[in-house]
Amino acid sequence: MDITTKNTQAPPPTEPPTATEQKRAARGATRPGDRIFLGLSRGSGILLLAIMAAIAVFLTYRASLAISKDEANFLTTFEWNATALPPKFGIAVLAFGTVVSSIIAMVIAVPIAVAIALFLTHYAPRRLSGPIAYVIDLLAAVPSIVYGLWGALILVPNMVGLFGWLDTYLGWTGIFSWEGGAPRSMLTVGILLAIMILPIVTNVSREVFRQAPQMIEEAALALGATRWEVIRMAVLPFGRSGVISASMLGLGRALGETMAVATVLSPTFDIQTSLLDPGGGTFAQNIASKFGEATEQGRDALIASGLVLFVITLLVNGAARAIIARRKEYSGANA
Amino acid sequence: MSNAVIKRPSTLQGARLPKWSPYAIAAGSAAVAIGVGLAAGLDSRIQWGLIAAILFVGGSYVIAARVEGTRQAKDRLATSLVWVAFLLAVIPLVSLVWVTVARGVKVLDVYFLTHSMGVVADTEPGGGIYAAILGSLEQVGLATLIGAPIGVLTAIYLVEYGRGNLSRAITFFVDVMTGIPSIVAGLFILSLMLMLDLEPFGFAGSLALAILMMPVVVRSTEEMLKLVPNELREASLALGIPKWRTILKVVLPTSIGGITTGIMLAIARIAGETAPVLLLVWGNPFINSNPFEGAQASLPLYIYQQYANSAGSGAAYDRAWAASLTLIAFVMILNLGARGIARWKAPKTGR
Amino acid sequence: MAKRIDVSGLTAYYSAHKAIEDISMTVEPRSVTAFIGPSGCGKSTFLRTLNRMHEVTPGGRVEGKVLLDDEDLYGHGIDPVSVRREVGMVFQRPNPFPTMSIFDNVAAGLRLNGSYKKTELQDVVEKSLKGANLWNEVKDRLNKPGSGLSGGQQQRLCIARAIAVEPNVLLMDEPCSALDPISTLAIEDLIGELKERFTIVIVTHNMQQAARVSDRTAFFNLSAVGQPGKLIEIDDTERIFSNPSVQATEDYISGRFG
């Protein structure tokens, strides 16, 4: 962050050149064309850093305005009355709902995505796998609001049967009990999120599995391994870190998804012990739903909750990137 | 090495199930599932399907374990699980596309595309998405005008000039930026608007969309520039052509197809973003062609508002589906076009 | 242990392309048979038909018969997985499982086929590594990853992995082409020892190597690029290199062609 602010203060072309840049300057950056072009492109890069810094700074600033007025504990309060006097609001319910819905999505989507990726790379007839991969690419591009509309109007009514079944046989656990309300609950949200992140997790996993070295697979085959044993010995060990990072990318999407949750969930500001009963909320959904009626103070409170979401997604994505980077080193060492 | 350690069958001829056995087991499980479904009076087809799937997976494992041994059975189990997972995932995705098309065509006609909601009540039939299309085109267009050049220039910096800490920092934060939820980008612009005391307007949405677009463009452009062989650059530099002209006249033309593809895919991504538009542009039933003043409509936002504000009215749902179909068509045309350009231009890089 | 291979009328395809045509030959047990010939003549393809690895390549299919003693590898009801257990293979580039230790690499084939007691496994691993002349070099680091070994050691590890399951036949696809001369010598010595126990078939580009290690040599050739490869002749190595019966073989060996 330090670099960023320093760089934004100095206009790009007059920035003091580093040693390597001086060397480059000696070669040809003395031409006005070169200087302008370098300035423009470096300026764009610095602008990008400045935007990131600005996002962090402004969100933190507005959030601090809101939190300083908050009469309740921002982290643990089960209440969102940001516009009341005195304002009382906390993110406990939102954090819980965001985490729960994302976990449900991961639990459903990751195994299926891995299976589809294996299907495309190792099981499907070759004529089929190309077009299917293409269609999955396209599905990754379907806007989330369309998933949201489909979820609310098609998925929700179709969940009734499943909910009844879960209630009958697993209701005793408490997690799957159902009082018979509309199935606009965390489980439905989780299932919809799973469907939404399926394409991206599948795509990344497929890339990883495709890069598993053919040589090693043949080694396993020549030892008399069945297809599944080849996958276990020669494909999954290579794909493990790739699948983890693919899942994290999917998780990042699920955490920040707004519209699909806003259309499907029927939110309340409390925590439901059952995944089947409607209620709860997520960060993004809460911002979208509460925004319309919020005053400036209410909006600052929503910005504060958005800042928390921002930090969480940064951590998740950072972890995914770190795993990918480590994988690169690993495969490089073995090349 | 003694023979006793290795116990192996004396023959290569393991007992094998005939080739048609998976189909037979599938047909059998489907039949049993239908029988069970009818007998138990289960009315949900989804339950029938699940019973059939479980019977199929379990059945093939048991039969294979009996006839072929556990190793083969595990192999078959994995195969059937992979197939079931695939079919399971196909159902919602096919349903999504099918429903959108089937319901979308109901009210989608020239009238719908050329008229706006105006004073049409949300529960009444009529109206259209002209204002929404106009707003979306303006917002996305402005976002592209801002986001694409910055993204491309940043990628040029990273590939052609970038060494050292600055480029490492940019690379890292571009990665981070890729993961920003769209609603957070919206909140950022909102915090600026709160400080400047501004009312919602189209260009504010464009700014948020541009933020979402930049990292995508940087990444794809970077990939494309890296594909340009170094020999080309060196050949040009050796002719005494300055670096900036080398980039403009040699590097960019070589990779322009891929860069265009990347930008189009990025446009397709932001065109469907709803959350920032909801916060910053508000939506407007009337035509507002000025993105710099006053609330504007937007296509994804229109879908949400038709769904959310209509209190279950069929007319509003029809409009929401029709708008969804329009949006998907727009996104898909961009996608297919982008891929077409990529395929058409790709051989130039000599891969 | 070692079995005889009888090939008759074997033709292999890549989709529509015919890679090798109508090959018939006999490979004697407990001997080394070398395949030589110019690039693209189909000798590696032919090798891969002997343990049904050819059909792993997309579009690959085979016509004809390969008898292992009396059983046709391509006969009805034959399980390719069990074929590959009987006919082991060593590849051009050493390919130990990079995520497994040296010990696990050697034990990999055994573990596939059911459970073994730990002591049994240890015995087999030690025997196989000794059999591959690698034991002394790795006995202190059996738990280290196999990818940490040198190229020649990795190739011997792959041989140890292949012989650990006690196959009847050992196929080697240019096993030394990625190795330096000293490692090559080590592998060649090893082949000489292994032929006491296994039927060995080796593809090589190096004619001196064929002359050094093999008892019999088969020469493959193709009439033109795009035409299928054919077996020109197979005979005792000595005769092939001193007095071949076909002119093309003599041309190839004396370097007048190819």
The domains located in chain B, with CATH, are 21-102 (no CATH), 130-349 (1.10.3720.10)
Which of A27-36, B101-110, B248-257 has the lowest average pLDDT? A27-36
- Give B262-293 pLDDT, tens digit per residue: 999 999 999 999 999 999 998 888 888 899 99
Count of C-beta atoms within a 10 Å radius of residue A177: 17
* Contact present, C124 and C76 (Cβ < 8 Å): no
Residue written as tokens 């005053």? A295
Residues of chain C falling short of pLDDT 70: 1, 114-115, 256-258
ipTM surpassing 0.90: no
Burial tier of B17 (Cβ tally within 10 Å: 0-12, 13-18, 19+): middle
Nearest CB neighbour to C112, from listed A216, A229, A238: A229
Q: Do B95 and A150 touch (CB under 8 A)?
A: yes
Q: Find the helix packing angle between B202-227 and B130-156, rounded to 10°.
A: 40
User: Above 90 in pLDDT, residue A189?
Assistant: yes
The CATH-assigned architecture of domain A88-334 is Orthogonal Bundle (1.10)
- pLDDT value of residue A332: 36
Taking any CB pair shorter than 8 Å as contact, residues of chain B touching chain C are 1, 3, 5-6, 8-9, 11-14, 16, 71-72
Q: Do B157 and A34 touch (CB under 8 A)?
A: no
Beta bridge partners of C136: none
Q: Locate all alpha helices (DSSP H) within A74-213, ordered by sequence.
A: 92-118, 126-139, 144-150, 156-170, 186-210
Q: With contacts defined as CB-CB under 8 Å, which chain C residues touch A224?
A: 81-85, 109, 112-113, 165
Q: CA of C99, closest CA in chain A: separation in Å? A: 7
Q: CA of B119, closest CA in chain A: separation in Å? A: 21
- Give B67-91 pLDDT, tens digit per residue: 877 888 888 888 888 888 888 888 8
Round to whole Å and give the CA distance between A9 and A4. Answer: 9
| H/E run at residue B9 | none
Q: CA of B19, closest CA in chain C: separation in Å? A: 10
Q: Locate all alpha helices (DSSP H) within chain B, ordered by sequence.
A: 21-40, 45-68, 70-104, 110-114, 130-156, 164-178, 182-196, 202-227, 230-238, 243-246, 252-271, 275-280, 299-308, 314-345
Round to whole Å and give the CA distance between C1 and B24. Answer: 40
Nearest CB neighbour to C108, from listed A215, A218, A233: A233
- pLDDT value of residue C235: 92
User: Hey, which chains touch B, using 3+ CB pairs under 8 Å?
Assistant: A, C
Count of C-beta atoms within a 10 Å radius of residue A188: 28
**pLDDT-based confidence at residue B208 (cuts at 50, 70, 90):** very high
User: Above 80 in pLDDT, residue A16?
Assistant: no
Residue C254 backbone dihedrals phi, psi, to 5 degrees: -85, 5
- Give B34-59 pLDDT, tens digit per residue: 888 788 776 666 777 778 888 888 88
- Give B151-187 pLDDT, tens digit per residue: 999 999 999 987 888 998 999 889 888 889 999 999 9
Q: With contacts defined as CB-CB under 8 Å, which chain B residues touch A29?
A: 243
- Give A240-282 pLDDT, tens digit per residue: 888 988 898 899 999 999 999 999 998 888 888 889 988 889 9
Give the start-to-end residue ranges of the domains of chain C. Answer: 5-253
User: Above 80 in pLDDT, residue A22?
Assistant: no
- pLDDT value of residue C32: 94
User: Hey, which chains touch C, using 3+ CB pairs under 8 Å?
Assistant: A, B
- Give B212-246 pLDDT, tens digit per residue: 999 999 999 998 998 888 888 888 888 888 888 88
* Contact present, C100 and C148 (Cβ < 8 Å): no
- pLDDT value of residue A328: 58
**pLDDT-based confidence at residue B328 (cuts at 50, 70, 90):** very high
Average pLDDT in chain A: 84
Q: Do A153 and B317 touch (CB under 8 A)?
A: yes
Indicate the CATH number for domain C5-253.
Answer: 3.40.50.300
Residue written as tokens 């003395």? A30
- pLDDT value of residue A333: 35
Report CA-CA distances (Å) from B74 to A123, A148, B331, C83, C117.
15, 38, 42, 19, 22
Give the start-to-end residue ranges of the domains of chain A. Answer: 2-69, 88-334
- pLDDT value of residue A13: 45
Q: Apex CA B212: angle with CA B207 and CA B218, to 5°?
A: 115
Nearest CB neighbour to A138, from listed B71, B83, B335: B335
- pLDDT value of residue B350: 41
Report CA-CA distances (Å) from B236 to A27, B226, B229, B248.
15, 17, 12, 11
